[in-house]
Amino acid sequence: MKKMIIQGGNRLSGEVTIGGAKNSTVALIPAAILADTPVQFDTVPDILDVHNLMIILESMNVKSAFSHGVLDVDPTQIMEAELPSKAIKSLRASYYFMGALLGRFHRATLTFPGGDNIGPRPIDQHLKAFEALGATVHEDGSTVHLDAPSGLHGNRIFMDMVSVGATINAILAAVRADGVTVIENAAREPEIVDLATFLNNMGAKIRGVGTDVIRITGVKTLQSMNTHTIIADRIETGTYLSLAAALGDGVMLNNVIPEHLEAFTSKLMEMGVDLQIDSDKIYVPPVTDLKPIHVKTMPYPGFATDLQQPLTPLMALAAGQSVVVDTIYPKRLKHIPELQKMGMQIEGDDGRILINHTDQATLRGADVEAGEIRAGASLVITGLMAQGQTVIHKADNILRGYDRIIWKLNRLNADVKIEDE
């Protein structure tokens, strides 16, 4: 594991360019094995999850090469094989190989995936979707066996709860199935639209993405003709917006999609941040007075659960008490005891977090631990705000989700480095 060392107290300024969306990328790479041709992605974030997905591809004889934001994947010589459990367990999104392998080979065996431990995230909706398409499901301890010897057949799938992962897995399994599949109560996230755009450009017939009803007519082959450019990461954007508002002397964010962030930017403006929003960039001027807010996380287009932790350090500067209610992952609380070590006035339990005003001068560097990606982001921002040195252990969790974060922060006048533990 690695640790991140932050010397706090510097004011930040300059420009930062947002990378491709992590949550698109981790679905697009498994989707590539559905193609009958080589595939190329552009604006790929340089994050640990990408490198772990490349290890999984290699185990199936799928060659991949990654350089300067371009990822080439060649699935033309793919072979069925046991997937490496270490790489599978390191990131939860490896479960997209279930839908992709089921769509390609009509069978799949996977170790139950890992990733961030932010409370229960069962895969029952995924398995229900596979069964609706004609697969049998057998769970053996932490291993899932999927089999559809007679092939997959289109069907109606109703999601009992809105699930991004289950919606994506259902699309991956259905795109080459016989007949028509209708997914109802589907998730509407931009990353799902990005995935469908990629698949449609290869000849898939997916309609309704971005709404709660998706209709898929199965096709026999998928062939890539063009490079797919991944959409900008709205969670990375929100993280840098919060950082810039907390300790920026004027920061410009480039390569952003403001429409994907309206629930978040409206909260920043409610706090008193005078954002200057253009078509593909946002300028954050220096901020003086901040008002407290109430945030409730919801499925898209509501306020993203992944952004409640990165916003926490900014809320601590507000003149009063801010409240976060996380309806998606109520157990997402790993950041709280770590932030308390740094002097932040924060408490919470079971989905309700109270953030009281904390004078920035009282924030102090400390030894803390990044329990998961977004908790780590909140520690990074607080460490930059605090006086003295902060050491964030388990920093691999941050590197899993943030493209070239050390380089980007230091270009803004931060003092951050990574070392091995």
Is 122 known as a binding-site position?
A: yes
Q: Which of 49, 116, 194, 233 is catalytic?
A: 116
Is 255 known as a binding-site position?
A: no
Q: Centre a 10 Å sphere on the Cβ of residue 77 and count the other Cβ atoms it contains.
A: 9
Is 121 known as a binding-site position?
A: yes
Q: How many helices (H) and strands (E) does the chain have?
A: 14, 23
Is 360 known as a binding-site position?
A: no
Q: What is the CA radius of gyration of the chain?
A: 21
First-residue to last-residue Cα distance in the chain: 6
Is 46 known as a binding-site position?
A: no
Q: How far is CA 9 from CA 93, 177, 366, 403, 414, in A?
A: 36, 56, 14, 23, 9
Q: DSSP secondary structure string, 304-351?
A: -GGGHHHHHHHHHTSSS-EEEEESS-TT--THHHHHHHTT--EEEETT
Q: Centre a 10 Å sphere on the Cβ of residue 343 and count the other Cβ atoms it contains.
A: 20
Environment class of 169 (CB within 10 Å of its CB; exposed 0-12, middle 13-18, buried 19+): buried
Is 188 known as a binding-site position?
A: no
CA distance 180 to 151: 14
Give yes or no: 116 in active site. Answer: yes
157: phi then psi, degrees, rounded to nearest 5: -120, 120
> Chain-centre distance of CA 400, in angstroms?
9
SS3 216: strand
Structure token pair of residue 297: 């996380």
Token pair 């795109």 in the structure block, residue? 175
Is 364 known as a binding-site position?
A: no
Is 321 known as a binding-site position?
A: no
Show binding-site residues for UDP-N-acetyl-alpha-D-glucosamine: 92, 121-125, 306, 328
Task: Point out the residues that are catalytic.
Answer: 116
